Amino acid sequence: MLARPWDTQIDYTAAHNALPTMTVRDLSLFYGEKQALKNVSFDLYPKETLAFIGPSGCGKSTALKCLNRMHDSTRGVRIEGRIEMHGEDIHSADIDPPVHRRKFGWVAQKPNPFTSTIWENVAYPARIHGLTRNRAELADHVERCLREAHLWDEVKDDLHTRGGTSLSGGQQQRLCIARALSTEPEVMLMDEPTGSIDPIATAKVEALMLSLRKTHTVVVITHSMMQARRVANRVAYFHMGELLECGPNAQMFEYAKNDKARAFIAGKFG
């Protein structure tokens, strides 16, 4: 019998002795009549990187957006099932959606920095959320975020003179990651963060992702099996709206139990 997604995770929890940051159970999502997610269940643990993989259109982005309630503003979306964050139902009436969303950083496939200065890209989110008390604290905050995003050394002399959009594609993506870190999120959600940048820029973003997983909980969608192999602690395989298997990196890449997951990982389709 196939292990259910959460069976493999229980082993992992025991090994890491941690309660999940998020728990997703029997999550189904409908865009109007069309069902895009079918009874998806998984856990997300503190300071792990979980990769979502699977063929195009299988529901990876849809599932990612459920975690920070990004579907709230999309008309015609219906969600069933339960998502908890630290044991609390994220759809409960007690949850203020903007407060919930602030716990997450979002990184999109295409870098989308503000045209304003490098400094402003990173300072703005901290300022609007009142995370620093004065200019000196803000300066420290901006530097820390840019260092965490592995960008500081490349831009430290241009903070106030260059606009975010004047950077190279790879630098823009790291700036967007610095901007996402600026709100001090607990969980980083990355939807194909290297999908539109070149291999050298990708290597830099992957190095950053490896350091990020020491400090943050990360869910990353990738079409690159090599990338999933390099950056993820665990891997979840989606197929036509279902999460067919989720397990530790080595287990998924070396002996996935599910036939479709095994074929996809071996590059036989998708």
Ligand X SMILES: Nc1ncnc2c1ncn2[C@@H]1O[C@H](COP(=O)(O)OP(=O)(O)OP(=O)(O)O)[C@@H](O)[C@H]1O
List interacting residues with Mg ion (CB under 5 A): 61
Number of residues counted as binding ligand X (CB under 6 A): 12
Query: Residue 56 binds what, of Mg ion, ligand X, none (CB under 5 to 8 Å, by partner type)?
Result: ligand X
C-beta of residue 231 within 8 angstroms of C-beta of residue 210:
yes
Between 120 and 191, CB nearer to Mg ion: 191
- Taking the complex as a whole, the smallest distance from the CB of residue 195 to Mg ion amounts, in Å, to 9
Q: In terms of Cα–Cα distance, which of 67, 82, 74, 69 is closest to 30?
A: 74
**What is d(CA 1, CA 216) in angstroms, rounded to the nearest whole number?**
34
62 belongs to the binding site for ligand X (CB under 6 A):
yes
Between 36 and 95, CB nearer to ligand X: 36
61 belongs to the binding site for ligand X (CB under 6 A):
yes
List 14, 15, 17, 34, residue binding ligand X (CB under 6 A):
34
57 belongs to the binding site for ligand X (CB under 6 A):
yes
Given strand 88-89, what is the order of strands in its sheet? Answer: 34-44, 22-31, 77-85, 88-89
Query: Residue 17 binds what, of Mg ion, ligand X, none (CB under 5 to 8 Å, by partner type)?
Result: none
Lookup: tokens for 97: 């959606």
Nearby residues of 267 by Cβ (< 8 Å), 6 or more positions away: 225
Query: Residue 131 binds what, of Mg ion, ligand X, none (CB under 5 to 8 Å, by partner type)?
Result: none
Between 18 and 36, CB nearer to ligand X: 36
C-beta of residue 174 within 8 angstroms of C-beta of residue 150:
yes
List 6, 30, 31, 152, residue binding ligand X (CB under 6 A):
31
Torsion of CA 113, 182, 44, 21, to 10 degrees: -150
56 belongs to the binding site for ligand X (CB under 6 A):
yes
List 3, 36, 95, 138, residue binding ligand X (CB under 6 A):
36
Query: Could you tell me which residues are beta bridge partners of residue 178?
Result: none
Between 65 and 69, CB nearer to Mg ion: 65
Give, in order, the Cα–Cα distances in Å from 25 to each of 43, 99, 180, 232, 267. Answer: 8, 22, 27, 22, 29
Stretch that binds ligand X, among 4-12, 19-27, 31-39, 99-107 (CB under 6 A): 31-39
Lookup: tokens for 143: 């530097």
Task: Name the residue number minimizing CB distance to Mg ion.
Answer: 61
Between 20 and 54, CB nearer to Mg ion: 54
- Taking the complex as a whole, the smallest distance from the CB of residue 137 to ligand X amounts, in Å, to 38
58 belongs to the binding site for ligand X (CB under 6 A):
yes
Q: How many CB atoms lie within 10 A of CB 101?
A: 16
38: helix, strand or coil:
strand
Enumerate binding residues for ligand X (CB under 6 A). Answer: 31, 34, 36, 54, 56-62, 74
